[in-house]
Structure 1
């Protein structure tokens, strides 16, 4: 099986746990995913099968969207409700104060990665060091928050819900922790659901229970999307039978003899290449100096 199956990851499963389940259900040994979700988080987890694993490092869309719940007035070592409580504060905030503080977290911002994260420093995962009671110096990283909205906020419980769209590497826990610091009372994330990743949405996903039922019926392949779906942001061209054979064998194509002659690509632009029947062959990369479409990555079965 080749392609992408999007799983709505359940709580208390690691991303590796989900990969292991899908490997067993599909019988596909070559398998991977496009970005880790914490065990306590739920939502969109694209699983790559077969030749789609070749895309793991070149997926063009790494933007993500989340729905996150939070509570003010508490801090923990993990920045979420599942960690060890460090402090509690009796101060309260009004909804307008929360809205005003959130203005500081839109656009390009700097974040200090949490100690409980999968980032490697000198070959060691930060969360491994954190579990040993160690805290090391981390450098702030720039990330982009495209949109950040307060969906609801209950002043009595000091709890609310955020809707966030952001770039790769953004830590939602850190946004909430920084929000708490700005309000002078602390805050923790209490729930996290990833609603979109790599261009796939929750509506594209199935649960693990769904996947198990489909596998038992022999119908799981009907829910595997084509590998090409990972690259829908790239333009697509169809090539002749001779060009298809040449490209599939690693040969570059004369762009003047393809549809690219009518709409010249930008130099180094990546192009989806399909045969006349619509079969996805792979990605080409435009070389305007030589006017050749060179091989970027082939996705042949």
Structure 2
């Protein structure tokens, strides 16, 4: 008989966000693998749940050693529930090595979805959400952090970071230096808790706010990606002429390009006609 590994999302602040499936999983699992066993017991207490199975610690320092044993337990029929301190396991939390080992062994892995600090902050940010990337915690050392942010200078997607409150000012200053003080961003703290707060604005203004207010609590920073550069008129004319050369009507090509680039259709059409006359 084969058991399974269950990745169970836990509340990121408000215990009322816990699902009935999480309560059932904690109460019925053969093994509850927790990033911090004390926090797992406290969560169970707040949810009025008793953890009947074995409770063991699985964190960054021992996950590699314990993954094989947990997979073996699941292969033997046990249900192993993995919980992190808050949010979804494997997202800047333990779990990746366990899932990797389970996948290699052919052991079933499933997820109990739930709260996510990444998605919650992204939704609150007021920044584009159609495409985004999660970058975790920026490097602590100044040089490494500068190089990491410089490597993201051309990233067009909204970027999401975790950060500790005592490093927030330094990180925002580094971001402003790497990407410009006018780049839009949002800083969220204490998500779903009593003192939840989200500040939105340019990086330069957020640096001043963070320096003056000294925000505390768990923090998520969302930063807009690099804005797309508007194509030049010359480039638009060249593309229009290429499309005309393939048989498309000039007016159709110009209308399409002008709408996409946000330029005057009349001006672009005049430029295309002038370029065709010059090349005749």
**Which TM class, normalised by the smaller chain length?**
under 0.3
Bigger fraction of residues in strand? 1
- Please report the TM-score for the alignment, with normalisation by the length of structure 1: 0.23
Bigger fraction of residues in helix? 2
Q: State the structure with bigger RCO (CA 8 A, min sep 6), 1 or 2.
A: 1
- Please report the TM-score for the alignment, with normalisation by the length of structure 2: 0.24
- Compare CA radii of gyration and give the structure with the larger one: 2
